[in-house]
């Protein structure tokens, strides 16, 4: 069965950096570019309209949809299928546990990776990359922590503290998990998020 990777974590936890390393190390990895309607970053997204997302939703074409940073985001079945059909391993960036669960309805061998970093790491990385909405990202860090605490029993294949390991090491851990068909690990979420 083909594989997919879900990277879940707060802003600044390294989703972009790790994805860049995955695609550099093994070209069959490919960032899944979510549909996005609204302001903010455009890199890594397929820009569309809220009407188009709504149309896909009504037609059953979405695996997950959410709103954040005054924008609408969606993960569409067709987009994931296009990567799989091209013999690529889709790498999905997620910010909600419910979304990380919802996308597994698409039949792939999913590696679910929880990326975590402390608040000060999110702040410094956000400032370092020139985000104009650092306060909003700090707010989302807190929302992500609460999301994890509300879903403590959610299974993760791998949990990586990205303030303690770099993107190359993280990417290699994901590749190892994928190769070994790793099963969900047990992790004390309360201990992890403090």
Confidence of residue 185 (pLDDT cuts 50, 70, 90): low
Dump pLDDT digits (tens) for 15-45: 999 999 999 999 999 999 999 999 988 888 9
pTM greater than 0.85: yes
Dump pLDDT digits (tens) for 129-139: 877 778 888 89
Query: Which residues have a Cβ under 8 Å from the Cβ of 131 and sit 6 or more positions away?
Result: 11, 137
> What span, in angstroms and rounded, lies between the C-alpha atoms of 26 and 171?
10
Residue with tokens 């969606």: 74
- Residue 128: the pLDDT is 85
Residue with tokens 């970093």: 117
In this predicted structure, the answer to whether residue 181 has a pLDDT above a threshold of 60 is no
Q: How many other C-beta atoms are found inside a 10 Å radius of the C-beta of residue 149?
A: 12
- Residue 182: the pLDDT is 52
Residue with tokens 């896909």: 56
Tell me if 121 sits within 8 A of 193, measured CB to CB.
Answer: no
Q: How many CA atoms lie within 13 A of 78 on its CB side?
A: 9
Average pLDDT over residues 167-177: 95
């Amino acid at each position: 069965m083909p594989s997919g990777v879900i990277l879940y974590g707060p802003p600044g936890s390294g989703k972009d950096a790790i994805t860049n390393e995955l695609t550099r190390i093994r070209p069959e990895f490919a960032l899944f570019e979510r549909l996005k309607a609204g302001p903010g970053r455009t890199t890594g997204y397929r820009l569309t309209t809220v009407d188009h997302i709504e149309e896909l939703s009504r037609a059953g074409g979405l695996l997950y949809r959410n709103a954040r940073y005054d924008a609408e985001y969606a993960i569409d079945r067709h987009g994931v299928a296009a990567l799989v059909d091209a013999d690529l391993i889709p790498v999905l960036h997620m910010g909600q546990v419910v979304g990380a669960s919802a996308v597994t309805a698409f039949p792939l061998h999913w590696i679910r990776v929880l990326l975590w970093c402390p608040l000060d790491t999110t702040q410094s990385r956000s400032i370092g990359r020139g985000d104009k909405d650092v306060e909003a990202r700090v707010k989302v860090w807190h929302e992500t922590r609460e999301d994890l605490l509300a879903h403590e029993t959610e299974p993760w294949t791998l949990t990586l503290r990205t303030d303690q390991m770099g993107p190359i090491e993280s990417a290699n851990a994901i590749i190892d998990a994928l190769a070994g068909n790793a099963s969900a690990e047990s992790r004390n979420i309360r201990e992890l998020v403090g």
